[in-house]
Amino acid sequence: RAKAEGRGMVRMFEPEMDERIHDQRMLQHDLQRAIDCDELELYYQPQARITGEIYGFEALIRWRHPTRGLLSPNVFIPIAEECGLILEIGEWVLRTACRNAVTWAAPLQISVNLSPVQFRHDDLSTTVLQILMETGLSPERLELEITENVLVKDFARALQTLRSLKKLGVHIAMDDFGTGYSSLSYLQSFPFDTLKIDRSFISRLNTDHLTDAIVRAVIGLGRGLDVPIVAEGVETEEQRAFLAGEHCQNIQGFLIGRPQEIGDYADIVGIECKPQRSLRRSAKTG
Ligand code: C2E
Ligand code: MG
Ligand code: MG
Ligand code: MG
């Protein structure tokens, strides 16, 4: 019976699995070329005070794949983590974001996401220091975003890494707060500079009283700990009003602005660079 079932399973799942594995291998192969051929890009999404004043940007990676179009990090970051390319990609992100931020007239914050693989790598703080020195970015302008899951395994070591990063003068944000597997006790051990409430909570605000209660409690937790909160994924004025009513300090989301090329935010950051897109357009017409 087991054999029959086994064969049934194979028949049911094999083609699909095969296709997925094949797809992953293709992407993995393409990813090395993406790094070598400059197909990776950073988009920037504004972070604002609850009043709307923009104080920083989060760098979000995209892959302009020659045949598949613009790919989301959710598609290729897991692959990069599996095959180790994430270290090279992560360093590129950090360097590119810092290089870009030093060209801004306004000394706004720049937030960069760290993969758990990067976070666990021995050289992380050396790499960050090197990039800060090389680009000349003031450390306090850089915020590194980690997720709760990096604290689950080997907490003592994670703490060491956080402290050595903190010594460089950079800020540390807890991303996707409330969705990980670690207990809240880590908040006693390390002073995070920001807690980012995950978008999944914000998207259900005003529709579900349990979600409202959780968001209210997290904002209260931030106040008690004296850690500013960023609400992620704010899309509507109703969500913003709820957060304002609870005295949430900061918001990020489509309501304020979508992730875009930095040129699209040139007036905010204070750069004269023309967006590449319009250069291309004028090249075509001219
Ligand atoms: P994240 O760090 O939590 O980033 C926020 C994600 O929510 C971004 O998706 C952003 O585009 C999206 N978002 C922001 N506001 C809204 C909104 O109002 N509505 C909706 N529906 N979505 C919103 P994105 O850019 O696709 O990135 C997904 C995830 O990929 C990020 O989540 C982060 O975990 C990861 N990621 C992005 N860039 C990097 C990177 O350079 N390195 C690493 N290791 N991971 C990255
Ligand atoms: Mg993030
Ligand atoms: Mg997040
Ligand atoms: Mg996320």
pLDDT value, residue 219: 98
Examine the pLDDT at 212 and tell me if it is beyond 90: yes
Examine the pLDDT at 277 and tell me if it is beyond 60: no
Cβ atoms of 181 and 155 within 8 Å: the answer is: no
What ligand is nearest to the CA atom of residue 177?
Answer: 3
CA 195 – CA 230 distance, rounded (Å): 6
CA 77 – CA 118 distance, rounded (Å): 12
- Closest C-alpha to 259, from 135, 111, 116: 111
pLDDT tens digits, 116-146: 999 999 899 999 999 999 999 999 999 999 9
* Averaged pLDDT score across all residues of the chain: 91
pLDDT value, residue 282: 40
CA 98 – CA 146 distance, rounded (Å): 17
Beta bridge partners of 109: 56
Which residue from 64, 71, 199 has its CB within 8 A of the most atoms of ligand 1, so it is best to mutate?
A: 199
Residue 191, φ and ψ in degrees, nearest 5: -85, 90
Residue carrying the six token digits 């094949």: 22
ipTM for the assembly:
0.98
CA 213 – CA 208 distance, rounded (Å): 9
Atom of ligand 1 nearest to the CA of 114: 44
pLDDT tens digits, 64-80: 999 999 999 999 999 99
pLDDT value, residue 278: 44
- Expressed in angstroms and rounded, the spacing between residue 199 Cα and the centre of ligand 4 is 7
pLDDT value, residue 281: 41
In the chain, which ranges are E strands? 40-49, 54-65, 69-71, 109-113, 142-147, 171-177, 194-197, 229-231, 250-252
Examine the pLDDT at 252 and tell me if it is beyond 50: yes
Share of the chain above pLDDT 70, in %: 90
pLDDT tens digits, 218-236: 999 999 999 999 999 999 9
pLDDT tens digits, 42-69: 999 999 999 999 999 999 999 999 999 9
Looking at ligand 1, which residue's alpha carbon is closest to its atom 42? 113
Mean pLDDT of 277-282: 44
pLDDT value, residue 9: 52
pLDDT value, residue 273: 57
